[in-house]
Chain A
Amino acid sequence: MPITTGAPPTRTTPAAVASGFLTGGVIGASLAALVVGGIVGNAPLFVTGLALPAVYGLLFHLAGAPRRAREAALAPRTALAMIESREAVGGEATSDVAVRFELTVAPDDVPAYRVAFTQNINLVELPDYRPRGVVVVQYPPDRPWRVRIVKRPTPKWEERAAGARVDSAPGPAMVGETPESSAVGVVTLLALLLAAAGVVLLFRADLFDQDTSAHPPSATGPSPSVSSSTSSSSTTVVSSASATVALGPDQTFLDKGELRRAVGSLAKGTNTRAALTVVVQERLLSVVYASTDAQAPTFDPDLLPYDRFPALVKEARSSPGVGSPQTWQITVERLTGSLTVRVGVTGTEGAASLEADARGEVVRRTPAH
């Protein structure tokens, strides 16, 4: 069989890239499925995360079986070789050292060729492999660059090697298969990230919009569910007992429509629950809900006169004797029977407050004192 003296194939073939892409995708998707399935409690998704790599590994193994069978069916060739050079390249901490050999391999039936490869050699046996020494090597007939030094040759080959002389072959040395190029690595990583992102995107609704309607408290044991979400402008935390919305630094609940929007986002999550108290500050809205069995008077936080709130705050701030106003707070409750909106402001010189009714009409003023 003629020896192909060309360079051995590198591994940046379309097939290698495709296989890297698939492998990365499977790893990313199964990891994401495990994590997402665990977080949202989706058992089929979790099982998919376990089964996918197993099935893929099985298919990968089966796909490579014909090639492996073909390679295994070929008996390795044995030949004499002469050591051109050797160099230890690592592994000094153990008894084996990795040695980079360059050999001239002299098969009986084809021209001699040079080859470079790395093989682990025991420190004690290293003196057996001196430059210019003749050794016995084996290689697969279809891959002459995959050479291995036979440390224990059969008596026949041992005798041949003892009396043999091998001349150096000219030309550059064949090197073994190059390790996977970085392109395959990049594609693998890319596929991994894409697949993971795809799974997260597919299940983003379950991941980010978990609310009490999706997970009603079980009848046997009430367990408060808490969800939180953060957007660029505000942070919302909703539990079964209360909800808060915190605004970002450059916003205020006195901005037009901000309050209604915030309450609207809560109402979506709370299914128009009965509120005990609503408290509004510059950048913080909190709603305390009544428990289902409570007898306290409640109100629907959706129906408050939010459009009137900025005007009420402005009016309270302009109360005589407050000085330059600094902080304000609106508290809404109906403990006394009718809905009361109480607006308090604190200024440099004193504090003032006013009360309004359900329509936002001022019913009482308490000037600064």
Chain B
Amino acid sequence: MGLQGYLALWCGAFGTLALVGYARSLAGVTRAQRAVRVMGRIERVREPRHGSSQHDGIPVVVSFQDPGTGQEFTVTNDGDHGERITTAWTGREIGVRYPRGRPHAYRFVGDLWAGRRGLGWPNFAIFLIYVGLVVFAAVDRAWPWALIGFGVPWTLSGAWYLPQSDRAVSRRFEGLTSQPPVRGRVVAVLTDTSTDEDGHTSTSHTPVIAFTTHEGTTVTAYCPDGLPDPAQSHGRDVTVHYTSDDPAVFTVNLAAEHRSRSLDTVFGVVALLVGVAAVVAGALLL
């Protein structure tokens, strides 16, 4: 079997998988489509214990109602139950997802409707077919096809996302500066120690801040960035800028926010240029 045979086998296998996936999605029987998605509500928030691990998230009690049976459930984020909760306040809405009939297998999700059509795997299969075609072109025809095959989707996605992300960052910055800041306090520093295979020990520190918004909501949140010397920050007072429509968008260091905004733009432009350069170089070398 030659190279073309392997390509046909590759494309056939993943094409079949993709077709099956799309058919299942159309028929509405993918696991993502059959999952129950409800909006839960955070009923109670506890401050994490100083020195404990950041992996468990902020301890919360969440209530949600099963739309099928109307039964009310009260659960906590104990153990492995989906996304880690890093920002919480009483009354905050939080997505809850679980397989139909199994509310005990609840998982918290930030974006309740993400991936609701279950097209992740079929799309990935299509991507693998594309990769197979590019590799075939690079091996069988000429290697610059690899540059073009990699550069074109890279550039297109960069050109698509760069303006969007720029707008989002601008909106976020405007939201943060639209109202006066509030006082907050580092209520705990979460410590995680890990040891790699060489026996080197590394420790990470995640400060947890609590602040009360102008509307009187007490927000407890992980604050992984923006605080100098996080290990020693326990009890420190901080100035918190937050957006009024979503207090989960906040910063304790507006200057750093400004710097990272410029850095993001530069990074996006450089990435875009790399893609363009790859396409141009590939076309010239063909």
Binding site for B on A (CB under 8 A): 43-44, 47, 72-73, 75-76, 93-96, 122-125, 148, 150-156
Contact = CB atoms under 8 A, between A and B. Distances in A.
Contacts of B51: 123-124
A95 B53 contact: yes
A94 B74 contact: no
Contacts of A76: 104
Given A43-B1, A122-B52, A125-B49, A152 B76 contact: yes
Contacts of B50: 124
A273 B199 CA distance: 62
B69 interface: no
B150 to A, nearest CB: 23
Contacts of B191: 95
Given A153-B78, A154-B74, A96 B101 contact: no
Interface string B223-242: 00000000000000000000
A93 B61 contact: no
Contact of A152 (B77, B99, B101): B77
Nearest to A74: B104
Contact of B102 (A43, A73, A148): A73
A156 B76 CA distance: 11
DSSP class of A's interface residues: helix, strand, loop or mixed? mixed
A251 B53 CA distance: 73
B102 A72 contact: yes
Interface in B34-63: 44, 49-53, 56, 59, 61
A154 B43 CA distance: 11
Contacts of A93: 193, 195, 199, 201
B60 to A, nearest CB: 9
8 contacts: A75-B102, A76-B104, A94-B194, A122-B52, A122-B53, A124-B52, A152-B76, A154-B74
Cβ-closest 5 pairs across A and B: A152-B78, A75-B104, A93-B195, A152-B76, A124-B51
A175 to B, nearest CB: 21
A93 B49 CA distance: 20
Contacts of A156: 74
B192 interface: yes
Contact of B193 (A73, A94, A150): A94
A253 to B, nearest CB: 47
Contacts, number: 57
Contact of A72 (B1, B44, B105, B192): B105
B79 interface: yes
B248 interface: no
Contacts of A75: 102-104
A248 B256 CA distance: 77
| B contact residues, range | 20 to 34
A73 B99 CA distance: 9
A94 B194 CA distance: 5
Contacts of A44: 1
A155 B45 CA distance: 12
Which of A47, A76, A150, A154 is the most central at the interface, judged by chain B CB atoms within 10 Å of its CB? A154
Interface in B62-112: 74-79, 99, 101-105
Given A95-B193, A124-B51, A47 B6 contact: yes
Contacts of B199: 93
A125 B49 CA distance: 8
A151 B78 CA distance: 6
Contact of B44 (A96, A124, A148, A155): A155
Given A150-B78, A152-B78, 14 more contacts: A44-B1, A75-B103, A94-B192, A94-B194, A95-B193, A125-B49, A148-B79, A150-B79, A151-B78, A151-B79, A153-B78, A154-B61, A154-B74, A156-B74
Interface string B177-214: 00000000000000111110001010000000000000
A320 to B, nearest CB: 71
A150 B56 CA distance: 12
A73 B53 contact: no
A123 B199 CA distance: 19
A151 B103 CA distance: 20
Nearest to B59: A152
Contacts of A94: 192-195
Contacts of A124: 49-52
B105 A151 contact: no
A125 B52 CA distance: 7
Nearest to A43: B1
Contact of B76 (A73, A122, A154): A154
Given A75-B104, A95-B193, A124-B49, A151 B61 contact: no
Contacts of A148: 79
Contacts of B77: 152
Which of B101, B195, B199 is the most central at the interface, judged by chain A CB atoms within 10 Å of its CB? B195
Contact of A73 (B61, B75, B101): B101
A95 B52 CA distance: 8
A93 B202 CA distance: 10
Contacts of B105: 72
Interface string B253-268: 0000000000000000
Contact of A155 (B49, B61, B99): B61
A201 B16 CA distance: 36
Nearest to B52: A124
A94 B105 CA distance: 29
